[in-house]
């Protein structure tokens, strides 16, 4: 965590271990069998189910809920995992309230959808607890594929390719696999090291060799990967962080929210993790909410999310916004940072009120200050380096159908590729679909 040792207002142990444990307990308790039976009974099992259309991985939701209702959660899990091999994690972190559950007929008729996410977790957890891997690897094709990035897109791609009989080498820059599932989501959404356990379970398919601590551009060269493998999939995510472009953002106490969340996720004892007394998070997405809520749960006295546009423009769902405010986080909108004040160390953030006329955002000239000894930047990430030969679309890798890049033996998916929603479930779909396309091409060749 950058520069915190220089900042007097940032300290560890603001609250005790018992309160920390309670604060970071599972956000949603898992269903007991009888609860799952009751919840599944609310499904209408629609023939033309809108929830399927709303699911980025096209899971047959009515079918898996019917399988739970009939007492076969293991079969339900296989229905889920056939489309989404990371269905256990997606059940925990997917914004179901704006996807499948928002489209649920019960939601539209009664304002209370079928609890699809919790039912999905019940099914996948039941199967994984048995130590069973429901898929069998096909006979070896003799083809090898390099998958760079062991996050959701890379893991989904690697598993589908291995299942088809291809040999996969899965590279990742970090010392642990999982990507954002391991390092980038709030700790209360994925407890008991579930991300790591899910990776271990996924690897049971066989045919996947994991090589960690291998970063594209320094340890790995795309040209070499292309020459030594039959195909390459890039799921490297976004490693760069956007700048605030505010005077004083280099002061001690100004940090990247993604790094803070990663530190928190990997901390063995959260009572030793320092947090500010007055925390300001700048941004309006899921990362901003996760950083803000966890700061409050660590014992920060005041936590404010500041976003430059109106609340209706925040990319974090309304459910997540309400979660933040229920934990004591203040959401301040139409405010953009102009300066971080303090003598080498952050003490205040100066903001300017903004107005959106429909033709762009403008400052009003009216400013105010908030006390802040810790400031988190959560204003988006950028692609960290670009291998030669790949075409960009804006700030991401340009792709066509099924993740094909401008190089005919290279595919890409997840946050690093254009068109994604920066969601685990979308990344899984892109990795899976790219694997199917790679398999078709390798089989034809």
Closest CA to 68 of 120, 28, 132, 30: 120
Rounded Cα distance between 389 and 285, Å, is 32
- Domains of the chain plus CATH, in order, are 4-25+241-377 (3.50.50.60), 33-129 (1.10.1060.10), 144-239+383-444 (3.50.50.60)
Q: How confident is the model at residue 5 (pLDDT cuts 50, 70, 90)?
A: very low
- Report whether pLDDT(59) > 60: yes
Q: What percent of the chain has pLDDT over 70?
A: 98
Q: What is the pTM of this model?
A: 0.95
How many CB atoms are located within 10 Å of the residue 359 CB?
6
Closest CA to 287 of 375, 380, 204, 214: 380
Q: Are 402 and 437 within 8 A, CB to CB? A: yes
Q: What percent of the chain has pLDDT over 90?
A: 88
Rounded Cα distance between 156 and 46, Å, is 28
Return left, alpha or beta for 394; rule: phi > 0 is left, psi -120 to 50 is alpha, else beta.
left
pLDDT of residue 3: 44
pLDDT in tens, 85-112: 999 999 999 999 999 999 999 998 999 9
Q: How confident is the model at residue 276 (pLDDT cuts 50, 70, 90)?
A: very high
Rounded Cα distance between 237 and 223, Å, is 19
State the average pLDDT over residues 250-261.
95
- Report whether pLDDT(120) > 80: yes
């Amino acid at each position: 965590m950058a520069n915190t040792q220089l900042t007097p207002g940032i300290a560890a142990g603001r609250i005790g271990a018992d309160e920390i444990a309670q604060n970071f307990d599972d956000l949603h308790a898992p269903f007991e069998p009888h609860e799952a039976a009751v919840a599944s009974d609310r499904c209408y099992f629609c023939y033309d189910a809108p929830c399927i259309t709303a699911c980025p991985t096209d899971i047959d939701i009515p079918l898996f809920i019917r399988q739970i209702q009939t007492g076969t959660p293991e079969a339900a899990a296989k229905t889920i995992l056939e489309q989404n091999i990371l269905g256990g994690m997606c059940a925990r972190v997917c914004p179901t309230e704006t996807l499948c559950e928002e489209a649920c007929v019960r939601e539209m008729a009664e304002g209370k959808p079928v609890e699809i996410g919790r039912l999905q977790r019940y099914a996948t957890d039941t199967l994984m607890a048995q130590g069973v891997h429901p898929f069998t690897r096909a006979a070896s094709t003799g083809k090898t594929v390099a998958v760079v990035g062991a996050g959701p897109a890379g893991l989904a791609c690697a598993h589908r390719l291995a299942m088809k009989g291809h040999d996969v080498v899965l590279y990742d820059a970090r010392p642990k696999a999982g990507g954002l599932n391991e390092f980038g989501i709030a700790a209360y959404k994925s407890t008991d090291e579930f991300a790591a356990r899910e990776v271990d379970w996924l690897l049971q398919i066989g045919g996947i060799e994991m090589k960690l601590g291998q970063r594209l551009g320094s340890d790995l060269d795309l040209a070499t990967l292309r020459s030594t493998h039959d195909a390459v999939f890039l799921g490297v995510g976004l490693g760069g962080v956007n700048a605030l472009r505010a005077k004083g953002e280099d002061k001690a106490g100004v940090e990247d929210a993604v790094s803070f969340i990663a530190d928190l996720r990997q901390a063995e004892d959260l009572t030793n993790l320092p947090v500010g007394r007055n925390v300001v998070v700048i941004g309006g997405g899921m990362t901003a909410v996760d950083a803000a809520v966890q700061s409050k749960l660590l014992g920060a006295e005041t936590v404010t999310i500041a976003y430059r546009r109106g609340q209706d423009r925040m990319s974090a769902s309304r459910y997540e916004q309400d979660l933040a405010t229920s934990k004591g986080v203040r959401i301040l909108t139409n405010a953009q940072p102009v300066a971080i004040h303090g003598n080498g160390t952050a003490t205040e953030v100066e903001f300017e009120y903004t107005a959106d006329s429909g033709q762009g955002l403008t400052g009003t000239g009216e400013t105010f200050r908030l006390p802040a000894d810790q400031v988190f930047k959560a204003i988006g990430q950028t692609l960290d380096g670009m291998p030669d030969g790949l075409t960009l679309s804006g700030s991401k890798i340009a792709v066509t159908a099924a993740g094909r890049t401008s190089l005919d033996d290279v595919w890409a998916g997840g946050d690093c590729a254009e068109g994604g929603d920066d969601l685990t479930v979308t990344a899984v779909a892109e990795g899976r679909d790219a694997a199917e396309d790679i398999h078709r091409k390798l089989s034809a060749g």
